[in-house]
Amino acid sequence: MKETLGITSAPDGINTAVWNVVGHTYKPKLHSDNAFIWHADIPAETFVPPHIHPTQDEWIYMLEGNLEVEFGHDQGPPSVHKAGPGDTVRMPMGVAHGIFNRSGATAKCVFGVAPARKLYDLFVALDGVTDPEELVRLSAQHEVDFLPPPPEA
């Protein structure tokens, strides 16, 4: 898919698309074979469970609020990194990461992946899905692998 020229206005997603994915509001801003970028509103006390993108690099540019990103869930206790306005979080392909809003306030940010692969189609499929098993199943079909929950202590 070739990128088209033009402007995606601030309040809109491409073709007015808006998705509810794991309680977050995602608005796609750019989509081509080479990259996919979306705006996200991440409410307080929500998260994206630890997962791996085996075929994409991912990043987050923080606009408002704060997030914690945990790396290395697949290798033992994760390392926690805090990001605030103006920070860029880099998540290379193949590296496990989970994204958590533990700040008590909504975070606003811009996510991106390169190449786009199947992530746009995954968000279309996940819009409004609340069943964790279905989320994991659909994600695996779209090249995102969620890690199993940690064992109970």
Is 117 domain-assigned? yes
Query: Which amino acid makes up residue 47?
Result: F
Is 124 within the bounds of a domain?
yes
Predicted confidence band of residue 73 (pLDDT cuts 50, 70, 90) = confident
Residue-range definition of the domain harbouring residue 31: 18-140
Task: Say if 5 falls within a structural domain.
Answer: no
Q: Which of 10, 28, 50 is nearest to 112 (CA)?
A: 28
User: Binning pLDDT at 50, 70 and 90, where does residue 152 land?
Assistant: low
85: CATH: 2.60.120.10
Instruction: Evaluate if pTM is beyond 0.85.
Output: yes
Per the structure, the count of domains in the chain is 1
Q: Is residue 64 part of a domain?
A: yes
The answer to whether residue 22 sits within a structural domain is yes
Give the burial class of 148: count Cβ atoms within 10 A of its Cβ; 0-12 exposed, 13-18 middle, 19 or more buried.
Answer: exposed
114 belongs to a structural domain: yes
Flag whether 32 is in a domain.
yes
In single-letter form, the type of residue at position 42 comes to I
Residue 153 lies in a domain: no
For residue 58, the model assigns a pLDDT of 98
